[in-house]
Chain A
Amino acid sequence: MSSLRRRKPINESSDSKHKEEEEDEDHDDVDAVGDDDVNGKNKKTPSKIKKKRGEKPPKQPKWSCMDTCCWFIGCICITWWLLLFLYNAMPASFPQYVTEAITGPLPDPPGVKLKKEGLEAKHPVVFVPGIVTGGLELWEGRECAEGLFRKRLWGGTFGEVYKRPLCWVEHMSLDNETGLDPCGIRVRPVSGLVAADYFAPGYFVWAVLIANLARIGYEDKTMYMAAYDWRLSFQNTEVRDQTLSRIKSNIELLVATNGGRKVVVIPHSMGVLYFLHFMKWVEAPAPMGGGGGPDWCSKHIKAVVNIGGPFLGVPKAIAGLFSAEAKDIAVARALAPGFLDNDIFQFQTLQHVMRMSRTWDSTMSMIPRGGNTIWGGLDWSPEEGNSCAKKREKKNETQIADQAGSENAVCKAKSANYGRIISFGKDVAEASSSDIERIDFRGAIKGHSAANTTCRDVWTEYHDMGFAGIKAVAEYKTYTADSLVDLLHFVAPKMMARGTAHFSYGVADNLDDPKYKHYKYWSNPLETRLPNAPDMEIYSLYGVGLPTERAYVYKLSPHAECSIPFKIDTSADDEDTCLRDGVYSVDGDETVPVLSAGFMCAKGWRGKTRFNPSGIRTYIREYNHLPPANLLEGRGTLSGAHVDIMGNFALIEDVIRIAAGASGEELGGDQVYSKIFNWSEKINLQLVHISILLRLFIFLEVSISI
């Protein structure tokens, strides 16, 4: 209090210098009252204070606004330091202790639990990270990136995105035509386990799995992170960085230095496709492949444990390529309309993102593969009859139990047409196929855009397209998986020209065709054969129970100037058909629909098929999503979401058991919660080799004729 009392008169006196006498009087009064209220408790009369004021004149330092600010900052700093100190002084086990106090004892981490069971490190482990989870660092850059040498551009804190966004976008982009480095820029993948253990501080990807493997004795010599530049097309990682050769050499080294034990490969997300490519590459002869010989895989690989693998692509990739938005962005737009569209605020964020991500060939590896055969046509889809909301499902089931027939019919009638991955307008998405009038866009003349001149740069290829082209696209109304590829060819010819040189999205009719020796087919499971390795095992581990994007309702963007002309119609909502914010969703792990993750293991490769001539055993392990029980659990130990599943204890336990030598049967075979087997049944894919069919046919004919 005393400081207060001291301070006040000075302020007042200084003020009074600039003020009129009367005001001074006022001030006195105010101060007197103020004093009174503050010091009232001291039972001091105003006169006494005034006297004091007179006694203690301007010796005291001035306590101004500035001082108050300083004082305030000081307070915050000190509190912060105090908290920081307490936090650091806190024993590391404290949060765990608190959690245990609240929820009862936590289960042991799987590593600890299995160590108690006596499991030990056996097979060396290779991790293959997916798209966007691997770190990238700068090796050579433009002037604007001065001082960032060997600093992470991708992953880590992403600090540079905020500091110099345009520079960052420039460095993260690849060359528009070659799909390789732009001139004078070299951005390379971070190598080693640090490449993808954490995506951002505190956001683990592989770290939990690594920590648990370390518990049973794994260390650097038995683990290898096959980090690659996830922006490049798969074959280009070999062309530019020799990444595939490195992985080959490292796997050979791991096998050699661990007493000939084969490796267990754990790819995640896009890493699954990358590793498929690798398996073909390594056995292909030298100029195009790695020249490992026809039995390389069976000699070196014990099991491929795919986690959340988008074998057949993800519909999300379409939305990403088509309009640079995903569900999250669409939802944000619905919540705050105008916020993202505001050019002043966002500096055309989406356009920048689109321009950048369209130079990444790898995004095209995620385009849905297999066309209408897999993803459904205008009127049917494998997931038909899927009911979406959990609550509803339960209700349905009870009702079905009561009055099976009629309810079922209703349900079916209202089912979404998942096969129409993109529809323009909600009515189009729901109408029956005969009602839709479609005008083919393929031959449409693109015309010249008036906007082209006003936009300084050609941001995206949309600006080459012109109004006529945009209109033509919208008039085709609805697109299935087959026509989507054509659509992308139409709207982004350059990108797709680059992409189709590296990836293919079809279904092979005859795998003996020599054209399938080309590397562009290697990452498409429907156009390659698995290697000849009967002892190998293929697992497909993925989460279920989360709504996953499957089809979109689009609309034309209202202002077509210098921006992306299409966007998801967030106003489209329908409870019955899983339509929310313009997105139809199905079961999956939030990114990959069950169909894409499970089909190959459930049907495509099951037993001896033409895609799996040596009869490699396949297993499906699904993990039902449960949200974290409390906040302290972080991202949950039971999560089934695409990336969070890497911290799922059940999954980690399975992986550790496989690494310690267990086979798929010992693990418990398939573990299925979704309707993947039903859905796979509906897909009419020829699995028997065509020559066998022919032979069968001839045999039948012969026998009939006899």
Chain B
Amino acid sequence: MASNFLRLRKPYYVESTINCSSSSDQKLVNLSFGINETRNQTKKRQAKEHHGRRSCLDSCCWVTGYLCTTWWLLLFLYHCCLPFTAVHEVPELMPAARLKREGLTGIHPVVLVPGIVTGGLELWEGKPCADGLFRKRLWGGGGFTQLLKRPLCWLEHLSLHNETGLDPPGIRVRPIPGLFGADYSAPGYFVWDVLVKNLAKIGYEGKNLHMAAYDWRLSFQNTEVRDRTLSRLKSKIELMYQANGNKKVVVVPHAMGVAYFLHFLKWVETPPPMGGGGGPGWCAEHIKAIVNIGPSFLGVPKAVSNILSAEGKDVAYFRAMAPGVLDSGTLGLRALEHVMRVSRTWDSVVSLMPKGGETIWGNMDWSPEDEHVCDFSKKRYFRLSPSDNNVNNSNEKQVFRVKDPVKYGRIISFGKAASVLHSSQLPTAVLKEILHMSASRNFNSSCGEAWTEYDEMSRESIRKIGAADKAYTATTLFDLLRFVAPKMMNRAEAHFSHGIADNLDDPKYNHYKYWSNPLEMKLPDAPNMEIYCSYGVGIPTERSYVYKLSPNNKCKRIPYQIDTSVDGEDDSCLKSGVYFTDGDESVPVLSAGFMCAKGWKGRTWFNPSGINTYVREYQSKPPTSGIKSTTHVDIMGNIALIEDILRVAAGATGEEIGGNKIYSDILRMSERINLRL
């Protein structure tokens, strides 16, 4: 066949050249005549049959060639014009350029601590299916192409061991060290790159800028057990401190990195077997400031829905728009179940669960965000300056207030009714009942291999839990999770705690599982240190969910899903089964700001040495893209934030960059929280 085509193409080619040049070169034609004569006689018949197909192929080639050429031409033009356009973009993108002209230079070494899912992971040892991927990225950068090429293999390698929470046998996936680790999480999707660029402008480079990459799938203490990550970070900070003329470091953690660094602060001062043995003055000696970006100090409700049904807002929306697509086993390849199975082996997800229970997140009838106004489209903040306080404005606010405040405290409710009814109308002590029943639950043998722990639960208890009229608060939530995912919670609760300490002097709080919970640890004794809480506001953020039982009750399915049919009125916070509140799209203001606004403000229980704290909020502006954006990850490119970081790195104190800058209701929310300080 192929040879046939080739032969046929030739005569045409000859002729086309004739036509182009429009010169009648008799010789050539004769030549081609001679050649073709002999050829054609042998292949006459076949050629006749292929007339139609050949022209089709030709035009295909022609179209492709045409497109390619056009594309190249455009590409070429684009590259030619690029230098001119780039010049205009630069000054705006680079607050550092302006600051440098002001005479700012980098003084303090900077340590960046990436958050969950933004760090890259690479393969060091794998199963045969991952052949040829040695030291290639599995997560981040180009790693996601492997997801398309060999999805099951990819998922297998990213899972951790179900019981130890460490590597499964025969698989070693390790974080990518250095700045490469997390500056781009996917091509074109910057995380740290803009910040690094700006830092470089005022003189930072490899010797005074460090990315503390860690394996974000592990629990914090396990990163030390397996990879010695905490020891490395300690040695790195000590080195940078010495090598830069005894200048203290500025630490910039993002998202979960905030909790990780809290853990580090405690770890480093704890004596050796469990800790790093740095001695009680280590933090005071080595750390100038911690600039937390989008901190999830008290956890995020999103983590709950992730664990319960592996879905976030986005998935829920998607399901509402195209029902059936995700549910169909064929097309979705049971994507959610796979995701759930993998992400449940990651201990770190549990660290993001809401901390502080009902005291912080509200109970059945009360929540700190009660007065929140939800109409984000029309939303205006009443207090634009943080100085003038709330007394006058509270009246105005009443006007806008919805008659019945949203009961944010009920993080998970089954059925819409359960999310709005008064608590007295709800049945109580459901869980106790079910827990009694748990003894009777039997392994569901009909499903074959158990995928998620749901498969090990009996249908009955699933239904019982999922029956309407039940709601769970931040405290009872854990009972629920312990019931539906006992193994995971067992594993994870050895590493994380989500309560509030009654008495911080209790020796049990020396255990590492309390170190990442700001409500169960004391900040180190470092009065000159500064802590910043920098986060975006003005974007609807998931706060609580309305759930329902999944319609298809088959094996290997997640039995619950967000009830996307539930919608409130136009100005309500309820949309597609999710209640929203103010935040940066991932972390609600409450979680990000409370510790700096109240928990650590001044000399408190949690902050015995009186470390200065500052709340820096960045308001979302209507064109939410690029340099003004304040969403959880995009905020890393926000110029106002970058400018603050640069100033701090160049030696400014919190007072010098303007103290608190608050747009949201965080102060009032915090006031409502009744926490012993």
Contacts and interface: CB of A to CB of B under 8 A. Distances in A.
Interface string B7-25: 0100111011111101010
Contacts of B36: 37-38, 40
A245 B206 CA distance: 13
A186 B201 CA distance: 10
Interface string A5-35: 0011001100100010001001101100110
A32 B60 CA distance: 28
Contact of B172 (A69, A219, A249): A219
A257 B231 contact: yes
Interface in B399-420: none
A271 interface: no
Given A27-B24, A241-B207, A257 B29 contact: no
B29 A34 contact: yes
Interface stretch (A144-152, A368-376, A566-574, A679-687): A144-152
Interface in A87-113: 91-93
Contact of A140 (B52, B66, B82, B201): B201
Nearest to A4: B12
Interface string B164-178: 000000001011011
Nearest to A224: B177
Interface stretch (B129-137, B546-554, B594-602): B129-137
B486 interface: no
Nearest to A72: B65
Given A73-B69, A191-B178, A219-B172, A8 B54 contact: no
A68 B16 contact: yes
B231 A256 contact: yes
A162 B47 CA distance: 47
Contacts of B19: 7-8, 11-12, 15, 63-64
Contact of A8 (B15, B175, B196): B15
A277 to B, nearest CB: 18
Given A147-B86, A219-B174, A245-B243, A70 B16 contact: no
A211 B207 contact: no
Contacts of A245: 239, 242-243
Given A147-B86, A249-B235, A33 B30 contact: yes
A188 B205 contact: yes
Contacts of B24: 23, 26-27, 29-30
Contact of A192 (B22, B66, B177, B232): B177
Contact of B205 (A42, A139, A211): A139
A140 B106 CA distance: 14
B68 interface: yes
A140 B200 CA distance: 7
B44 interface: yes
Given A65-B20, A70-B69, A253-B232, A33 B15 contact: no
Contacts of B13: 68
A194 B180 contact: yes
A207 B206 CA distance: 23
Interface in B203-229: 205-207, 227-228
A214 B124 contact: yes
Interface string A110-137: 0000000000000000000000000000
A37 B86 CA distance: 57
A54 B82 CA distance: 51
Nearest to A210: B135
A67 interface: yes
B143 to A, nearest CB: 15
B64 interface: yes
The contact size tier of chain B is 35 or more
B228 A257 contact: yes
Nearest to B132: A92
Contacts of A220: 124, 174-175, 177, 227
Contacts of A37: 11, 29, 32-33, 36-37
B371 to A, nearest CB: 46
Contacts of B172: 219
B65 A40 contact: no
User: Which of B24, B26, B172, B242 is the most central at the interface, judged by chain A CB atoms within 10 Å of its CB?
Assistant: B24
A77 B20 contact: no
B66 A70 contact: yes
A253 B235 contact: yes
Contact of B135 (A67, A71, A189, A211): A211
Interface in B259-278: none
A627 to B, nearest CB: 26
Given A33-B29, A220-B174, A246 B243 contact: yes
Interface in A142-187: 146-147, 149-150, 186
Given A34-B18, A71-B61, A74-B62, A40 B40 contact: yes
Nearest to A248: B239
B671 interface: no
Contacts of A33: 26, 29-30, 33
Contacts of A215: 125
B29 A30 contact: yes
A74 B65 contact: yes
B86 A75 contact: no
Interface of A is mostly: helix
B450 interface: no
A372 to B, nearest CB: 42
Given A1-B51, A140-B201, A253-B235, A74 B22 contact: no
Contact of B65 (A19, A75, A149, A246): A75
Contacts of B183: 150
A67 B62 contact: yes
Given A41-B48, A73-B69, A191 B206 contact: yes
A464 interface: no
Contacts of B48: 1, 41-42
B55 interface: yes
Contacts of B40: 38, 40-41
A36 B579 CA distance: 78
Contacts of A63: 16, 19
Contacts of B242: 245
Nearest to A15: B22
Given A4-B12, A220-B174, A242-B207, A41 B41 contact: yes
A406 interface: no
Given A40-B36, A246-B243, A186 B205 contact: yes
Interface string B519-558: 0000000000000000000000000000000000000000
A139 B43 CA distance: 65
A19 B21 CA distance: 13
Contacts of A75: 61, 65
A391 B377 CA distance: 87
Interface string B231-242: 110010011001
Contact of A252 (B64, B125, B180, B235): B235
A209 to B, nearest CB: 12
B177 to A, nearest CB: 5
B463 interface: no
A249 B239 contact: yes
Given A41-B40, A73-B68, A211-B134, 15 more contacts: A1-B54, A1-B55, A3-B54, A3-B55, A7-B16, A34-B15, A40-B36, A71-B61, A75-B65, A150-B197, A214-B124, A221-B227, A246-B239, A249-B239, A257-B231
23 contacts: A1-B48, A2-B51, A2-B55, A4-B15, A23-B24, A29-B24, A34-B18, A34-B33, A37-B37, A40-B37, A41-B40, A41-B44, A71-B62, A73-B64, A73-B68, A150-B183, A194-B180, A214-B125, A214-B134, A221-B228, A241-B205, A245-B239, A245-B243
Interface of B: 8, 11-13, 15-20, 22, 24, 26, 29-30, 32-33, 36-37, 40-41, 43-44, 47-48, 51-52, 54-55, 58-66, 68-69, 82-83, 86, 90, 124-125, 131-132, 134-135, 172, 174-175, 177-180, 183, 196-197, 200-201, 205-207, 227-228, 231-232, 235, 238-239, 242-243
Q: 3 shortest A-B CB distances, which residue pairs?
A: A74-B65, A74-B61, A37-B33
